Structure 1
Amino acid sequence: MASSERIRPPWWLKYVNKVMIALNRTGLFTNGPAVLIVTGRKSGKPRPTPVTPFEVDGRRYVVGGLPGSDWVRNLQANPEAVLARGKSRQTVRMVELPVEQARPLLRQFPVLVPTGVDFMKNAGLVTGANPDEFEALAGRCPVFRFDTV
């Protein structure tokens, strides 16, 4: 499932992520962005990253937006994580879906997570919100399901 492709994140992403993590701690976000805290595969330290979970048929999912990103590789090494929103913390097990199961979820991504479309466009992964383009990312951008622990 894991692709060896790696896209360098934009220079500004680290700074935006820090702001998003700080805003998340305030508890202002009840829906939309959350912080996924994964264990570093080399350091063993907690590594927070903002994510935008989405729900389909009562299950929550998240798309690994940049192929080869550190948080995705950390999850692939250790799928146990913590999903944080404000003061709320939930321990989860992240299950990476096979390509065929990821395709229909990626098709729905531009509608369910419209804020993610611009991010994917800026990364050069898609040209717009066309579901066909997002479905074609299966195998490049992993999709994870949140399972409760």
Structure 2
Amino acid sequence: MAEADKIYYRKPGRFTRHVFNNLVAGFTRAGVSIWGSRVLEVKGRTSGQPRRVPVNLLNHEGGQYLVAPRGETQWVRNLRAADGNLDILFGCRREHRSAHEVADADKAPILHAYLRRWKAEVGVFFDGVSADSTDEEIARIAPRHPVFVIDPLA
């Protein structure tokens, strides 16, 4: 398999899985957002059971986006299998929404904005690319980072 064909995924470490994500998700479910955090709930592709994970919800130019800094994560796979159906949780609020994947060629402005907002938290997953990188540098790493636009509320 060629390097470009390999699926990119950076598995979270034990601390992230068992401590950090639980803390962020707990605060978010209590209604305290940490830098735009929300809890994404999507049906598991194998079990059919709801799966929850904290995510950074990016508001950019009137749209809302989910970016997978770690690549082809479980939530990405589940969201694809669920045909984009998801719930976004914040405090007591639950919003049933749908999302669709953004094409690699259209990701640059979204990834620039995402990195501008969360570079300190997720920059290590972007191979030295930052918010100040050129569109060409962003285009190079774009296929590794799935991006979903959340459809507006009806």
Rate the CA distance shift 1:70–1:3 in 2: closer, same or farther, 3 A: farther
Is the contact between residue 72 and residue 146 of structure 2 (CA under 8 Å) also seen in structure 1? no
Q: 1:68 aligns with which of 72, 78, 85?
A: 72
Structure 2: how far apart are the matches of 1:125 and 1:50? 22
Structure 2: how far apart are the matches of 1:136 and 1:26? 38
Larger relative contact order, structure 1 or 2 (CA cutoff 8 Å, min sep 6): 1
Cross-structure match for 2:119: 117
Is the contact between residue 120 and residue 126 of structure 1 (CA under 8 Å) also seen in structure 2? no
For normalisation by structure 2, the TM-score amounts to 0.82
Rate the CA distance shift 1:71–1:33 in 2: closer, same or farther, 3 A: same
Matched residue pairs, number? 145
Describe how 1:1-20 pairs up with structure 2 within 5 A. Answer: 4-14=7-17, 15-20=19-24
Look at both structures and tell me which one has the larger radius of gyration over its CA atoms.
Answer: 2
Structure 1: how far apart are the matches of 2:35 and 2:95? 15
Is the contact between residue 27 and residue 85 of structure 1 (CA under 8 Å) also seen in structure 2? yes
Name the aligned partner's letter for residue 136 of structure 1. Answer: R
Name the aligned partner's letter for residue 126 of structure 1. Answer: G
For normalisation by structure 1, the TM-score amounts to 0.84
Q: Per residue, is there more helix in 1 or in 2?
A: 2
Unaligned runs of 5+ in 1: none
Rate the CA distance shift 1:53–1:127 in 2: closer, same or farther, 3 A: same
Deviation at 1:4, TM superposition (A): 2.6
Name the aligned partner's letter for residue 78 of structure 2. Answer: N
Rate the CA distance shift 1:55–1:124 in 2: closer, same or farther, 3 A: closer
Unaligned runs of 5+ in 2: none
> Percent identity of the aligned residues?
26
